[in-house]
A and B are shown apart, each in its own frame.
Chain A
């Protein structure tokens, strides 16, 4: 019955599009359109509009496809009772900071609900979420199915059974359990991988690269097609051996320093920074500290790399200290890092963003030690700085008895204290880095200082405490 009207509407729409009267061709409705041409057009418009609205349906393509289902994760979702708080906290967190909550929940044995948060394939998130990253990549690529990642260790045979993120997670596991096997697998596969895939895998190898990896690193540094791969391999190589930079540069850098005896007895040595007279000299020193690896610098000074941090002239020039820390964090061998951390904590400048690069090189326990550094000063965003240094690894127990926490307590009423937004950020970060015990202590102290329990800025601390009560899995 609608078919003749539908056929009629085709010329009607064509005429209206061009500005011609359509009533004369609307034969099926002529009796109700009337004789007045203007009225007839309006009546036809009313009738035609309703017909199109109610009776015309979009043609459904024959080739509709479903998306693959979201995979289940290894950890259960957060208990439903905590979901409203989780949503509130996620609303308070900026995109990048949301990862702090993701890490905290993973440490406590929970995953997020995908309705609340979903990682992108590029996010640096706990391996737990790798199946979702593969799913998101599959959705973007229009794939209909998502392969089930095997439980078996990654190998050349099952390489294609993994998605990109689950494969990378499996490669990390393989590297931990069988470093040589992981290296061999990388060598086997690398000719077939894209530059981004190679970069991701080399990054994993680089996290604990040792002398056995040197031949592979040399090969990549000299033969890989991608510039980023060459640069990363060269950097990793520079942590293992000297000679990865021009020797003249190392020599030039040593010209800015001198080894001198310490004290009158002369038994000890110290490094002395030579005074600089011009801005050009400062620029040159800064450039060389960025370009010359630690091993080459130490060799040029005839020092062991582990002695560098101990003999460094701390607290003479803060910018110089930071440049040295950045240099060591970038190219220092693993063996140098404990001594460097000790020296930084004892003598280093107050927290700077440059410390984040050093934190990335440290194991979890050492990272926690470094993360306490900003709490020792009443910095404007001390807890937020600590959150960045921890980078999802580890929690802090003693946060209440710190100048940073006292600043938060005072900020509720102090006019010249933290700004409102900084205070909210600090309370959020505090909740993200505190152990449950520390969170309870902090909550008690805050309430005693006049914060009301209902204050939504305390949501993250409350969530931290509540997660323990639900049965935290450390």
Chain B
């Protein structure tokens, strides 16, 4: 048990409150000095959103901006100081948990009382109360225990060194130049490989795609074209998902886009959108200070959260958002990466149909789509605006492909329509006025088949439409 300001705070099963947490508790909880220092660094209100506590003051939660597109969700059970964070850190508790506790203990930001979010409830359901000990006390490696005062001093003594900053910038510039040169070599290899596929015949390429793509993807990785390597690696999966009769044409489209992307990169290697597609995405900090970054504040609806695993066993989670406001791009795509089994894949994170008001920072691009979440607050569905009308689908596809010819998929807002079927049981979406009919990629849940769709949203790729969400007489429908 420890006390502060007359409040008893025991780490046990009796109900205790979080309102006046002893800042010293983080010293007991932290596994090492580095965690403690990083946690103190995160105890800044600007890094947090959605701070709250349960009415009985036993639970504490908040969302902390991390390096990913979406914030980490952090929660603490004050009864036994159990905690959970969605970050991939292997330290327990991680710096985000320590930051949240510091933020609360130092009363540096207001915590709103209210019902815990669903993700806190899910964590509670999975956890067992701990014994009345702090975890770090036993789990901590041998050595000097974390020292809060020392961590504070480090926080305060971080002088701005202009020379060091200049050295860092010069080193970064040099690294970027080396990367560009390596990528040039990689792109040359890619184009030679594409030429080889044409000479060997695309019929043979379709039959041997996985092996051939794997080989050139490995060489692209060597050439520091990591993002492009992933794209080539996943090319077979995209094409083999299509009917056999469509694969040859799809191969031409995919390989043609690679040629265009390689040409564009050679012409403008510094363009951030091309560098992102070929090398790697900018860091969150870089993005936030880039002059072309577009920040859009709006009401957003979560459409669908999709996951797929890359060959390097990293799971890519893509969350599609719909902008319900009048300004900015109509769609946004949050992309997060985490290692398999890291726990980030919880379905309740950005559940389809959830609404929030928030600011998204869009990565600079001719067709801005990928974004990160800067800050947000949940919004009751009753307060959410209606779906706006979209541009005519064909015009939207052409606009996107004109802006970015190498783009693989285009999100579309479709007008009123209905799903039809042909004699081969292939599904089609047809506009209510009959002006447009598009083939669907794959199946949809049964309810989609038996109702008029007042509006629908889908991803257009390889001449097929993958439906994500719709409005109908049965309410909002989600798929994916």
Chain A interface (Cβ < 8 Å from any Cβ of B): 13, 16-19, 21-22, 38, 41-43, 45-50, 52-54, 56-58, 60-61, 63-70, 80, 83-84, 88, 91, 113-115, 118, 135-136, 139, 142, 412-413, 420, 424, 450, 452-457, 459
Contacts and interface: CB of A to CB of B under 8 A. Distances in A.
Contact of A47 (B255, B256, B419, B474): B256
A97 to B, nearest CB: 16
Given A53-B256, A454-B54, 5 more contacts: A18-B201, A19-B200, A42-B194, A66-B419, A115-B475
Interface in B46-60: 54, 56, 58-59
Given A41-B195, A452-B124, A64 B446 contact: no
Contact of A66 (B398, B418, B438, B439): B418
A17 B203 contact: yes
Given A54-B401, A63-B423, A118-B446, A452 B255 contact: no
Interface in B121-135: 121-122, 124-126, 128-129
A65 to B, nearest CB: 6
23 contacts: A17-B201, A17-B248, A38-B195, A42-B195, A45-B255, A49-B260, A50-B405, A52-B252, A57-B463, A58-B463, A58-B464, A60-B428, A63-B422, A67-B450, A114-B450, A115-B447, A412-B129, A413-B129, A420-B126, A420-B128, A452-B116, A456-B125, A457-B124
B203 A454 contact: no
A45 B422 contact: no
Interface string B346-365: 01000001000000000000
Identify which of B254, B472, B474 gathers the most chain A CB atoms within 10 Å of its CB.
B474
A134 to B, nearest CB: 12
Interface string B386-400: 000000000001100
A100 B255 CA distance: 52
B255 A49 contact: yes
B3 interface: no
Contacts of B129: 412-413, 450
Given A63-B422, A64-B422, A454-B124, A70 B401 contact: no
Identify which of A17, A45, A69, A118 gathers the most chain B CB atoms within 10 Å of its CB.
A45
Contacts of A459: 121
A343 B59 CA distance: 50
A27 B56 CA distance: 77
B125 to A, nearest CB: 4
Contacts of A22: 198
A394 B353 CA distance: 34
Contacts of A52: 249, 252-253, 256
Given A13-B248, A18-B201, A50-B405, A70 B474 contact: yes
Contacts of B124: 452, 454-457
B449 interface: yes
A45 B256 contact: yes
A162 B368 CA distance: 53
A148 to B, nearest CB: 15
Contacts of B255: 45, 49
B221 interface: no
B477 interface: yes
B13 interface: yes
A80 B198 CA distance: 56
B421 interface: yes
Interface string B321-357: 0000000000000000000000000010000010000
A169 B122 CA distance: 39
A364 to B, nearest CB: 31
Contacts of A13: 248-249, 252
A323 B306 CA distance: 51
Nearest to B14: A450
Contacts of A412: 128-129
B313 interface: no
Contacts of B121: 454-456, 459
Contact of A16 (B252, B420, B474): B252
Contacts of A17: 201-203, 248
A456 B194 contact: no
Identify which of A113, A114, A412, A457 gathers the most chain B CB atoms within 10 Å of its CB.
A114
B252 A136 contact: no
B447 A118 contact: yes
B437 interface: yes
Given A54-B398, A54-B401, A64-B430, A424 B474 contact: no
A185 B280 CA distance: 72
A401 to B, nearest CB: 24
A468 B398 CA distance: 53
B474 A113 contact: yes
B201 A19 contact: yes
A21 B257 CA distance: 19
B128 A19 contact: no
Given A115-B474, A452-B59, A457-B125, A46 B260 contact: yes
Contact of A454 (B116, B420, B472): B116
Contact of A49 (B54, B257, B474): B257
Contacts of B437: 60, 64
Contacts of A115: 445, 447, 472, 474-478
A18 B421 contact: no
A383 B255 CA distance: 58
A469 B254 CA distance: 56
B118 interface: yes
Contacts of A454: 54, 59, 115-116, 120-121, 124
Contact of B451 (A69, A136, A453): A69
B139 interface: no
B167 interface: no
A399 to B, nearest CB: 20
B202 A136 contact: no
Given A52-B249, A113-B474, A454-B115, A135 B397 contact: no
B185 interface: no
Nearest to A452: B124
Nearest to B257: A49
Identify which of B58, B204, B405, B425 gathers the most chain A CB atoms within 10 Å of its CB.
B405
A61 B364 CA distance: 41
A10 to B, nearest CB: 11
B163 interface: no
